Chain A
Amino acid sequence: MEHNTTGDYHIQTALPRLNALAPAFEAETTHGRLALEDYRGTWVVLFSHPADFTPVCTTEFIEFARMAPALKERNTELLGLSIDSIYSHLAWVQAIRDKFGVEIPFPVIADGNREVASLYGMINPEESSTETSRCLFVIDDKGVLRAMIYYPLTTGRNTDEILRLIDALQTTDRHRVATPANWRPGESVIVPPPRTVEDAEARKGLGYECTDWWFCKTTVPGPGPKG
Protein backbone atom coordinates (compact mmCIF):
# COMPACT_ATOMS: atom_id res chain seq x y z
CA MET A 1 0.00 0.00 0.00
CA GLU A 2 1.38 3.39 -0.96
CA HIS A 3 0.25 6.81 0.16
CA ASN A 4 0.53 9.94 -1.92
CA THR A 5 1.19 13.39 -0.45
CA THR A 6 -2.50 13.99 0.22
CA GLY A 7 -2.80 10.80 2.22
CA ASP A 8 -4.99 9.02 -0.30
CA TYR A 9 -4.43 5.35 -0.92
CA HIS A 10 -2.91 4.21 -4.15
CA ILE A 11 -4.58 0.95 -5.04
CA GLN A 12 -2.37 -1.71 -6.56
CA THR A 13 -4.27 -3.40 -9.33
CA ALA A 14 -1.66 -5.96 -10.35
CA LEU A 15 -2.82 -9.51 -9.84
CA PRO A 16 -0.90 -11.95 -7.68
CA ARG A 17 0.72 -14.79 -9.58
CA LEU A 18 -0.39 -18.40 -9.65
CA ASN A 19 1.96 -20.87 -7.99
CA ALA A 20 3.69 -18.06 -6.07
CA LEU A 21 3.30 -17.67 -2.32
CA ALA A 22 0.02 -15.89 -1.62
CA PRO A 23 0.59 -12.37 -0.28
CA ALA A 24 0.80 -12.45 3.52
CA PHE A 25 -1.56 -10.32 5.59
CA GLU A 26 -2.93 -9.86 9.08
CA ALA A 27 -6.38 -8.31 9.34
CA GLU A 28 -9.39 -7.67 11.56
CA THR A 29 -12.16 -10.16 10.95
CA THR A 30 -15.51 -11.03 12.44
CA HIS A 31 -13.68 -13.87 14.24
CA GLY A 32 -10.90 -11.68 15.63
CA ARG A 33 -7.59 -10.70 14.14
CA LEU A 34 -6.35 -13.36 11.73
CA ALA A 35 -3.26 -13.78 9.58
CA LEU A 36 -2.94 -15.88 6.46
CA GLU A 37 -0.11 -17.65 8.28
CA ASP A 38 -2.65 -18.92 10.81
CA TYR A 39 -4.04 -21.22 8.12
CA ARG A 40 -0.76 -23.04 7.51
CA GLY A 41 -1.56 -26.71 6.88
CA THR A 42 -5.08 -25.86 5.70
CA TRP A 43 -6.36 -24.87 2.28
CA VAL A 44 -8.09 -21.48 2.17
CA VAL A 45 -10.74 -20.00 -0.09
CA LEU A 46 -10.24 -16.24 0.23
CA PHE A 47 -13.04 -14.39 -1.47
CA SER A 48 -14.06 -10.77 -1.75
CA HIS A 49 -17.48 -9.25 -2.22
CA PRO A 50 -18.40 -5.69 -3.24
CA ALA A 51 -20.39 -4.64 -0.19
CA ASP A 52 -22.49 -5.85 2.72
CA PHE A 53 -26.30 -5.76 2.57
CA THR A 54 -26.43 -6.32 -1.18
CA PRO A 55 -28.68 -9.01 -2.65
CA VAL A 56 -26.18 -10.89 -4.83
CA CYS A 57 -23.61 -10.98 -2.02
CA THR A 58 -26.26 -12.25 0.35
CA THR A 59 -27.09 -15.17 -1.94
CA GLU A 60 -23.37 -15.95 -2.18
CA PHE A 61 -22.88 -15.86 1.58
CA ILE A 62 -25.79 -18.24 2.04
CA GLU A 63 -24.37 -20.66 -0.52
CA PHE A 64 -20.84 -20.37 0.88
CA ALA A 65 -22.22 -21.17 4.34
CA ARG A 66 -23.95 -24.24 2.91
CA MET A 67 -20.72 -25.25 1.20
CA ALA A 68 -18.58 -24.87 4.35
CA PRO A 69 -19.02 -28.46 5.64
CA ALA A 70 -18.04 -29.88 2.23
CA LEU A 71 -14.98 -27.64 2.25
CA LYS A 72 -14.04 -28.80 5.74
CA GLU A 73 -14.04 -32.38 4.43
CA ARG A 74 -11.42 -31.13 1.99
CA ASN A 75 -9.32 -29.46 4.75
CA THR A 76 -10.39 -26.09 3.38
CA GLU A 77 -11.55 -22.96 5.22
CA LEU A 78 -13.48 -19.97 3.89
CA LEU A 79 -12.37 -16.39 4.52
CA GLY A 80 -14.49 -13.52 3.21
CA LEU A 81 -13.53 -9.87 2.65
CA SER A 82 -15.03 -6.53 1.79
CA ILE A 83 -14.08 -2.95 2.52
CA ASP A 84 -17.01 -2.57 4.93
CA SER A 85 -16.49 -2.23 8.69
CA ILE A 86 -16.56 -4.97 11.29
CA TYR A 87 -19.84 -3.53 12.61
CA SER A 88 -21.37 -3.66 9.15
CA HIS A 89 -20.19 -7.24 8.69
CA LEU A 90 -21.62 -8.25 12.07
CA ALA A 91 -24.95 -6.58 11.35
CA TRP A 92 -25.18 -8.21 7.93
CA VAL A 93 -24.28 -11.66 9.23
CA GLN A 94 -26.95 -11.22 11.90
CA ALA A 95 -29.47 -10.10 9.26
CA ILE A 96 -28.74 -13.20 7.17
CA ARG A 97 -29.33 -15.36 10.24
CA ASP A 98 -32.55 -13.53 11.13
CA LYS A 99 -34.03 -13.20 7.65
CA PHE A 100 -32.77 -16.35 5.94
CA GLY A 101 -32.10 -18.69 8.87
CA VAL A 102 -28.50 -19.28 7.82
CA GLU A 103 -25.52 -19.01 10.18
CA ILE A 104 -22.37 -17.69 8.56
CA PRO A 105 -19.61 -19.91 9.97
CA PHE A 106 -16.59 -18.27 8.37
CA PRO A 107 -14.72 -15.06 9.28
CA VAL A 108 -15.09 -11.92 7.17
CA ILE A 109 -12.21 -9.45 6.89
CA ALA A 110 -13.03 -5.76 7.41
CA ASP A 111 -10.64 -4.28 4.88
CA GLY A 112 -11.49 -0.62 5.38
CA ASN A 113 -8.03 0.62 4.42
CA ARG A 114 -7.96 -1.76 1.40
CA GLU A 115 -4.68 -3.34 2.42
CA VAL A 116 -5.63 -6.90 1.57
CA ALA A 117 -7.66 -5.82 -1.47
CA SER A 118 -4.56 -4.04 -2.72
CA LEU A 119 -2.31 -7.03 -2.18
CA TYR A 120 -4.62 -9.27 -4.16
CA GLY A 121 -5.73 -6.83 -6.87
CA MET A 122 -9.33 -7.11 -5.76
CA ILE A 123 -10.36 -3.62 -6.85
CA ASN A 124 -10.80 -3.11 -10.56
CA PRO A 125 -11.03 0.68 -11.06
CA GLU A 126 -12.77 0.31 -14.40
CA GLU A 127 -15.66 -1.35 -12.60
CA SER A 128 -15.62 0.45 -9.27
CA SER A 129 -13.01 2.69 -7.72
CA THR A 130 -13.94 1.63 -4.21
CA GLU A 131 -15.66 -1.75 -4.12
CA THR A 132 -13.87 -5.06 -4.32
CA SER A 133 -14.87 -7.25 -7.25
CA ARG A 134 -16.03 -10.83 -6.81
CA CYS A 135 -12.56 -12.31 -6.56
CA LEU A 136 -11.81 -15.76 -5.23
CA PHE A 137 -8.40 -17.20 -4.44
CA VAL A 138 -7.63 -20.81 -3.65
CA ILE A 139 -4.55 -21.00 -1.43
CA ASP A 140 -3.10 -24.40 -0.65
CA ASP A 141 -1.88 -25.80 2.66
CA LYS A 142 1.63 -24.50 2.00
CA GLY A 143 0.43 -20.95 1.37
CA VAL A 144 0.78 -21.15 -2.40
CA LEU A 145 -1.80 -19.40 -4.58
CA ARG A 146 -3.25 -22.16 -6.74
CA ALA A 147 -6.23 -20.60 -8.51
CA MET A 148 -7.99 -17.28 -9.03
CA ILE A 149 -11.52 -16.55 -10.20
CA TYR A 150 -12.63 -12.99 -10.99
CA TYR A 151 -16.29 -12.22 -11.57
CA PRO A 152 -17.96 -8.88 -12.26
CA LEU A 153 -19.99 -7.14 -9.58
CA THR A 154 -23.23 -8.29 -11.16
CA THR A 155 -22.73 -12.06 -11.31
CA GLY A 156 -22.97 -14.39 -8.34
CA ARG A 157 -20.47 -17.21 -8.10
CA ASN A 158 -21.12 -20.94 -8.49
CA THR A 159 -20.18 -22.94 -5.42
CA ASP A 160 -20.29 -26.24 -7.31
CA GLU A 161 -17.45 -24.98 -9.47
CA ILE A 162 -15.44 -23.91 -6.42
CA LEU A 163 -15.74 -27.39 -4.91
CA ARG A 164 -14.91 -28.97 -8.26
CA LEU A 165 -11.86 -26.75 -8.57
CA ILE A 166 -10.56 -27.73 -5.13
CA ASP A 167 -11.22 -31.40 -5.81
CA ALA A 168 -9.29 -31.08 -9.06
CA LEU A 169 -6.33 -29.30 -7.45
CA GLN A 170 -6.11 -31.75 -4.57
CA THR A 171 -6.43 -34.72 -6.92
CA THR A 172 -3.66 -33.25 -9.06
CA ASP A 173 -1.43 -32.94 -6.00
CA ARG A 174 -2.19 -36.40 -4.72
CA HIS A 175 -1.82 -38.34 -7.95
CA ARG A 176 0.32 -36.06 -10.17
CA VAL A 177 -2.29 -35.97 -12.91
CA ALA A 178 -4.34 -33.34 -14.71
CA THR A 179 -8.11 -33.14 -14.95
CA PRO A 180 -10.11 -32.76 -18.16
CA ALA A 181 -12.92 -30.34 -18.91
CA ASN A 182 -15.95 -30.71 -16.65
CA TRP A 183 -14.13 -33.35 -14.60
CA ARG A 184 -15.80 -34.58 -11.44
CA PRO A 185 -14.29 -36.76 -8.69
CA GLY A 186 -14.46 -40.42 -9.70
CA GLU A 187 -14.05 -39.70 -13.40
CA SER A 188 -10.93 -40.49 -15.40
CA VAL A 189 -7.97 -38.13 -15.13
CA ILE A 190 -5.30 -37.23 -17.64
CA VAL A 191 -1.81 -38.65 -17.40
CA PRO A 192 0.86 -36.03 -18.18
CA PRO A 193 2.32 -36.64 -21.65
CA PRO A 194 5.67 -38.41 -21.78
CA ARG A 195 8.68 -36.16 -22.27
CA THR A 196 11.19 -38.76 -23.37
CA VAL A 197 11.26 -41.84 -25.59
CA GLU A 198 11.90 -43.94 -22.48
CA ASP A 199 8.83 -42.50 -20.75
CA ALA A 200 6.72 -43.15 -23.83
CA GLU A 201 7.87 -46.78 -23.96
CA ALA A 202 7.53 -47.31 -20.22
CA ARG A 203 3.91 -46.23 -20.07
CA LYS A 204 2.81 -48.85 -22.63
CA GLY A 205 2.54 -51.45 -19.92
CA LEU A 206 0.76 -49.34 -17.35
CA GLY A 207 -2.77 -49.99 -18.53
CA TYR A 208 -3.64 -46.42 -19.43
CA GLU A 209 -6.58 -45.75 -21.72
CA CYS A 210 -4.81 -43.99 -24.60
CA THR A 211 -6.29 -42.27 -27.63
CA ASP A 212 -2.83 -41.34 -28.80
CA TRP A 213 0.64 -41.52 -27.27
CA TRP A 214 0.23 -38.00 -25.83
CA PHE A 215 -3.41 -38.38 -24.76
CA CYS A 216 -3.87 -40.98 -22.04
CA LYS A 217 -6.32 -41.28 -19.20
CA THR A 218 -6.42 -43.37 -16.08
CA THR A 219 -8.49 -43.71 -12.93
CA VAL A 220 -7.40 -42.74 -9.44
CA PRO A 221 -8.76 -44.13 -6.18
CA GLY A 222 -11.28 -42.44 -3.98
CA PRO A 223 -14.33 -40.33 -4.71
CA GLY A 224 -12.56 -37.15 -3.75
CA PRO A 225 -9.59 -35.82 -1.88
CA LYS A 226 -9.71 -35.28 1.88
CA GLY A 227 -6.74 -33.21 2.37
Chain B
Amino acid sequence: MACINPDGTLTEVARRVLEAMARRGAAFAAPEEIATAAGVPLHRVRATVRETGRAKLIEGDGAGWRLTGLGREVLDLDEGSGPA
Protein backbone atom coordinates (compact mmCIF):
# COMPACT_ATOMS: atom_id res chain seq x y z
CA MET B 1 0.00 0.00 0.00
CA ALA B 2 1.45 3.32 -1.07
CA CYS B 3 0.50 5.22 2.08
CA ILE B 4 2.41 2.76 4.27
CA ASN B 5 6.13 2.11 3.92
CA PRO B 6 7.49 -1.44 3.72
CA ASP B 7 8.57 -1.16 7.39
CA GLY B 8 5.01 -0.44 8.45
CA THR B 9 5.42 3.30 9.04
CA LEU B 10 3.30 5.89 7.28
CA THR B 11 4.63 7.73 4.27
CA GLU B 12 5.35 11.41 4.80
CA VAL B 13 2.22 12.50 2.96
CA ALA B 14 0.00 9.95 4.74
CA ARG B 15 1.35 11.02 8.12
CA ARG B 16 0.67 14.70 7.39
CA VAL B 17 -2.84 13.89 6.23
CA LEU B 18 -3.61 11.76 9.30
CA GLU B 19 -2.07 14.35 11.62
CA ALA B 20 -4.35 16.99 10.11
CA MET B 21 -7.33 14.77 10.85
CA ALA B 22 -6.07 14.08 14.37
CA ARG B 23 -5.97 17.82 15.08
CA ARG B 24 -9.70 17.99 14.33
CA GLY B 25 -10.48 15.32 16.90
CA ALA B 26 -13.78 13.55 16.25
CA ALA B 27 -14.98 16.07 13.66
CA PHE B 28 -15.16 15.00 10.04
CA ALA B 29 -13.01 17.03 7.63
CA ALA B 30 -13.56 17.49 3.91
CA PRO B 31 -10.59 16.69 1.64
CA GLU B 32 -10.25 20.40 0.80
CA GLU B 33 -9.91 21.25 4.51
CA ILE B 34 -7.40 18.46 5.02
CA ALA B 35 -5.37 19.67 2.05
CA THR B 36 -5.15 23.16 3.53
CA ALA B 37 -4.38 21.94 7.05
CA ALA B 38 -1.79 19.39 5.93
CA GLY B 39 -0.18 21.52 3.22
CA VAL B 40 -0.66 18.67 0.75
CA PRO B 41 -2.10 19.03 -2.78
CA LEU B 42 -5.76 18.07 -2.99
CA HIS B 43 -5.15 15.20 -5.40
CA ARG B 44 -2.64 13.66 -3.00
CA VAL B 45 -5.13 14.03 -0.14
CA ARG B 46 -7.83 12.27 -2.14
CA ALA B 47 -5.43 9.44 -2.98
CA THR B 48 -4.34 9.12 0.64
CA VAL B 49 -7.93 9.20 1.86
CA ARG B 50 -8.81 6.39 -0.54
CA GLU B 51 -5.90 4.22 0.55
CA THR B 52 -6.08 4.85 4.28
CA GLY B 53 -9.84 4.36 4.07
CA ARG B 54 -9.28 0.93 2.52
CA ALA B 55 -6.85 0.19 5.36
CA LYS B 56 -9.54 1.22 7.91
CA LEU B 57 -7.28 3.95 9.30
CA ILE B 58 -9.95 6.56 8.61
CA GLU B 59 -13.70 6.58 8.15
CA GLY B 60 -16.01 8.88 6.22
CA ASP B 61 -19.51 10.23 6.47
CA GLY B 62 -19.90 10.96 2.77
CA ALA B 63 -18.64 14.54 3.00
CA GLY B 64 -15.63 14.26 5.26
CA TRP B 65 -13.15 11.98 7.00
CA ARG B 66 -11.81 11.34 10.51
CA LEU B 67 -9.38 8.94 12.15
CA THR B 68 -10.54 5.55 13.37
CA GLY B 69 -9.15 3.96 16.54
CA LEU B 70 -6.80 1.94 14.36
CA GLY B 71 -5.74 5.12 12.60
CA ARG B 72 -4.89 6.77 15.93
CA GLU B 73 -2.88 3.72 16.95
CA VAL B 74 -0.90 3.71 13.72
CA LEU B 75 -0.31 7.47 13.92
CA ASP B 76 0.82 7.23 17.55
CA LEU B 77 3.16 4.37 16.69
CA ASP B 78 4.46 6.27 13.72
CA GLU B 79 5.14 9.41 15.73
CA GLY B 80 6.85 7.31 18.39
CA SER B 81 9.21 5.78 15.87
CA GLY B 82 10.49 9.02 14.39
CA PRO B 83 10.12 10.42 10.89
CA ALA B 84 8.58 8.09 8.33
- A residues near B, CB below 8 A? 28, 31-35, 37-42, 77
The listed residue (B13, B43, B48, B51) touching A42 by CB distance below 8 A is B43
CB distance A32 to B11 under 8 Å? yes
**Nearest Cβ on chain B to A37's Cβ, whole angstroms:** 7
Chain A residues, Cβ within 8 Å of B72: none
Q: Identify the closest chain A residue to B46 (Cβ).
A: A38
Which secondary structure characterizes the binding site on chain B?
helix
Contact with A along B21-34 (1 / 0, CB 8 A): 00000000000000
CB distance B47 to A34 under 8 Å? yes
Closest 9 CB pairs of A and B: A32-B2, A38-B46, A38-B43, A33-B2, A39-B43, A38-B47, A34-B47, A32-B47, A33-B47
14 extra A-B contacts, CB within 8 A, seeds A31-B13, A38-B47, A77-B41: A31-B44, A32-B2, A32-B3, A32-B11, A32-B48, A32-B51, A33-B2, A33-B50, A35-B46, A35-B47, A38-B46, A40-B46, A41-B42, A42-B42
Among the interface residues A31, A35, A38, which one has the most CB atoms of the partner chain B within 10 A? A38
Tell me the bound Cα distance from A35 to B50 in angstroms: 10
CB distance A34 to B43 under 8 Å? yes
**Nearest Cβ on chain A to B18's Cβ, whole angstroms:** 14
Contact with A along B1-15 (1 / 0, CB 8 A): 111000000010100
**Nearest Cβ on chain A to B17's Cβ, whole angstroms:** 11
Tell me the bound Cα distance from A41 to B48 in angstroms: 17
Chain A residues, Cβ within 8 Å of B43: 34, 38-39, 42, 77
CB distance B42 to A33 under 8 Å? no
